[in-house]
Amino acid sequence: MHEYSIVTALLEQCEQHAIANQASKITKVVIKIGVLSGVEPALLATAFETFKLEGRAREAELEILHQELVLECQACQSTHTIKERSVICPSCHSYETRIIEGEELLLMQLELETDE
């Protein structure tokens, strides 16, 4: 289950940002997961709850934004946002498409708290 290694890296990145900003606590972590990222959001959320127990993220809330697939068709020059995992153009049914969004896993927002 690679979600565990992803969460470990995510928490390390959050800790580094917290240290760099002299924060004592991480209160919220917002990530964006693309439909073709290869990451299962439910498993990632479970892993986050399991691994956050150490460090500044102990009480952090995880918010997951789901990124649908955005395709650009090279054949008919159209752009489509679709929910399913398909790279076929809904307009002309061409396979000549380019993925614009939907493969990413990004840290979008990090809320920190200081002792002051």
Each residue of 45-77: pLDDT tens digit? Answer: 999 999 998 889 999 999 999 999 999 999 999
Mean pLDDT of 26-51: 95
Is 92 a known ligand-binding residue? Answer: yes
Predicted TM-score of the model (pTM): 0.86
**Residue 116, token pair as written in the block:** 């002051």
Mean pLDDT of 99-108: 96
Q: Residue 107: beta bridge partners?
A: 31
User: 37 near 103, Cβ under 8 Å?
Assistant: yes
Is 76 a known ligand-binding residue? Answer: yes
- Alpha-carbon distance 105 to 96, whole Å? 24
Instruction: Look up residue 53 and give its DSSP letter.
Output: T
What is the CATH code for 3-113? 3.30.2320.80
Is 14 a known ligand-binding residue? Answer: no
Which of 74, 95, 77, 75 minimizes the C-alpha distance to 86?
95
